[in-house]
Amino acid sequence: MRTLKSLFTPITVSLAFLLAQPVAIAKPPAHNGPLHIRPILKQLDLTDAQRQDIRLLIKQNRATKDTYQPDQESTRESIRNLIQNDVWAQGDISSAIQAEQHLQNQLRWLDIKTQQQIWLTLNDAQKEKFLAELDAEQEEKGHGLKPQQSNSRDKSNPMMSVAQRQAEHFAALNLTEEQQTLFTTQRSAEKADKEANKSAREVFRAQLISIVTSESLNEASWTALQAETEAQRFEHALTKAKNQHTFWNALTSEQQSTLQEMMESRQKRESKKRNSFGRADR
């Protein structure tokens, strides 16, 4: 369902894609994101009435979130400009990241409210299957697999793998060996950090599921859960911004221009996706 896909999009991306994002915190750590329930809802055999109710809830969610768009764009532009500056201004970028986190916290709460309202539209049997699918999804992730995928990519699949996308970006930027080493070193550090925080992500996810699947939503529970990871999320975003700043300044002016074009192209694609929100399912 396209309307559901527009709201619940996976947020884990490689550094190659982060470099094409306008802001360091545009893709927050996976442990702090919302649940991705669209694939699960597709497994529940929803009635027409339920589908209609869910579409309405998501449209309302999007309408509210759209009011935050000007502030988001302003904050992202501020961070992007700081990242692309010759000098690392940690005080300024720290303030900008904190402002971005504040906005993200509000947007995530909107998503959680919508998800909990969707949960309330389900009958008992659907709720039971919903939880079972969440458990199965978590187990598959624990084994390094994405749901309904194997370790080897089907050669007939036109979608590029992460390695292929990375190679494409390397080729487009014509990176030197030294620049590629910098990129892979930063990426390896991010992977290590992600692995080190695996347990924390699992705990966070369990608590988030408890909030979303409650019969009565408690904002205080979500606020407390957010507070537990606030400092870690800030440090994660600051480190990522520093990496982006370092990589940006390791590029030549010509490479920076090419990367800027890649960023603008990606922004246009993201804007097109946002504009397609709310179309009828096919």
Encode pLDDT of 69-124 as tens digits.
999 999 999 999 999 999 999 999 999 999 999 999 999 999 999 999 999 999 99
pLDDT at 223 over 80: yes
Evaluate whether 112 touches 211 at the Cβ level (below 8 Å).
Answer: yes
* pLDDT band of 218, cuts 50, 70, 90: confident
Distance in Å from the first CA to the final CA of the chain: 7
Q: State the pLDDT at residue 119.
A: 94
Q: State the pLDDT at residue 198.
A: 84
Evaluate whether 97 touches 238 at the Cβ level (below 8 Å).
Answer: yes
pLDDT at 13 over 80: no
Q: Return d(Cα 262, Cα 17) in angstroms, integer.
A: 10
Q: State the pLDDT at residue 265.
A: 81
Q: Return d(Cα 218, Cα 211) in angstroms, integer.
A: 7
Contacts of 106 (CB under 8 A, 6+ apart): 68
Quick one: which of 250, 218, 241, 207 has its CA closest to 90? Answer: 241
Average pLDDT over residues 247-276: 81
* pLDDT band of 43, cuts 50, 70, 90: confident
- Phi/psi-derived region of residue 69, left when phi > 0, alpha when psi is between -120 and 50, beta in every other case: alpha
Query: Cα 46 from chain centroid?
Result: 26
pLDDT: is 64 or 164 the higher one? 64
